[in-house]
Structure 1
Amino acid sequence: MVWMVRWLLVALGVAAIAVTVLALVPSNERWIRIWDFPRVQIGACLTGVLLLVPFIAFPRRRLKRAFAALLAAALAWQVFNIWNYTPLAAPQAEAAADCPANSRIDILIANVLVDNRESAPLLALVDDVDPDLILLVETDSWWDTQMKPLGDAYPHAILHPRENSYGMHLFSRFELIDPLVRYLIEESVPSIKTGLLLPSGARINLYGLHPKPPPLSDTEERDAELLVVGKEVSDETVPSIVAGDLNDVAWSQTNSLFQEISGLLDPRIGRGLYPTFVAMSPLLRWPLDHVFFEESFVLLELAVLDDIQSDHFPLFVALCHDPGAAATQRKPKAGPADRKAAEEAIEEGREAASD
């Protein structure tokens, strides 16, 4: 029995090393890119096996040392990837304690889960949080009907129910300017772009996204949609916010490239993981719902909210529009290699969508 446990630990360690290496492969195949997601869980597995290596018998001492070295190297790589998303790293976005009421923007982002038929928890949460903007994804015709009570408090809205898990609803207290529902890459996957007029008189842009996740398809289309928006944001003269269920983890190469191309800030950096998916599994949770914003915004609050019977937890962010903050916040910047990589990824996504 003891020998079986020991070799199970070895097998677990080898598997964790293998998927760590697999995630290094530059590929858009779903079975490769999916290993970007559980870096925390893989790191925990590597740590556990590494701590138990002294108690595992090997035929030769060199094998034990080599195994321990590989475990340590794989663990170091996993930690390196998620380090910026811990409180040990320096925050990328500045925080503020207060904000003029006419410059504050409270945003609630929620993937409702298209098969979820419990709308009361979400409506109660909206009543409790009282956000200025509500971005909902996976909304179908049933959810469209259930959300009608929000119309009184949120007179401005974009309602785009879909029966394919890619419906989107945006509810706003602020006036919408030139609201659009767009299909940037795939004919079945919409996104939102709209201007917003703040009470201060300032205009900002909001982009709402929900591309397809890797388990359902390879990642060319998902990556391309995010990078198309990143390029568009970089060309805008109006301050922008990008929000939604991006079906990608915060530390992925695509998210990093998106930040460099767009110049937007990630409030998770230097603060924590803030995992939003999978709601029903405490051990398997990842940060898939996101908000990025320009350097003319500062962070007031970031929080993962209570369960709404979905497979995602809602994400809440409060921002302050402060043009003066642009002078002190350091935004990501793209080099020639980044711009080339983005163009290639967009082209690959468009080709994949047309196949």
Structure 2
Amino acid sequence: MTHRPDHAPADHPALPRRRTGILVANLGTPDGHDYWSMRRYLNEFLSDRRVIDYPRWKWQPLLQGIILTKRPFTSGKNYRSIWNVEANESPLMTITKAQVAKLRAAADARWGDQVMVDFCMRYGNPSTISVVDRMVKAGCDRIVFLPLYPHYAGATSATANDQLFRALMAQKWQPAVRTCAPYFDRPDYIDALAQSVERALSGRRPQKLVASYHGMPRRYLQEGDPYHCQCQKTTRLLRERLGWPEDAIDTTFQSVFGPEEWLKPYTVEHVADLARRGITDIAVISPAFSADCIETLEEINGEIREAYEHAGGKDFTYIPCLNDDDAHIGVLMNVLGENLAGWAA
């Protein structure tokens, strides 16, 4: 619905009714698992200076000449093993849509049509730029931006915000924006994690719970990125909420890429070491991921599980991400409610 501003001349263009936008952002996904879809996605992802910060003159020839020639085949195979064939999309896309559908219903019940809820991806589709443009054209002159990362990292939250700001550069009339802070230590988030552990394990406690977080070069920590410390705090708070002893949960890091040292211990090596030490019953949780994706469904429940079992481990339980669990949606709604203060009644 559009209207002409009060006291405006007859030839003034009609404007959409003012609304406040909620824009949820996730990492992204290829459009398909074929070679060219994977290549486009990986090129965008691995060309991001927040992800790989090597000098362009050094990195781009390697990326374009070697990595993007070979990696789309292996990555495509991995995506194919978890692909949602019925919807013809990755699980991350399916889950993000489900999360947003629940958020949209909850927002409508709380704020009515004064709020518009949508989602975008940092890499791939729907792009941040296209969705911001759609929201502005729909009348959103204020936008709350929620990156779906519980923990802050330059390669996740910051690059999502970067892309939001690039999208604003294309707008003649920029909306006001608020970016949501990380929620890694919120009591409601920790409680949602603990509930997922209790539900998946049916009350029993394995010999070891491994909290596996996405990795990053150790150098980033030394340069001031708070991600490592936030991950450690989440593990500690989760253990305290569960009431487990100090040695019950280990913090590890996965998805190592490139030649330099990343945050340690590496999950794939750590679970194998646990098995060699006689730990035959473990569970793995991924608190840094808001939705199950290639890193959890294929890497943890595939490669990492295999490393554990090959080293002699027996019982391996993967605890799914919070996904569209009602407790998780409640956390996100609480975060959005706090950030909408003064913008939506």
Q: Same fold (TM over 0.5)?
A: no
Q: Report which of the two has the higher share of helix.
A: 2
TM-score norm. by structure 2 comes to 0.30
TM-score norm. by structure 1 comes to 0.29
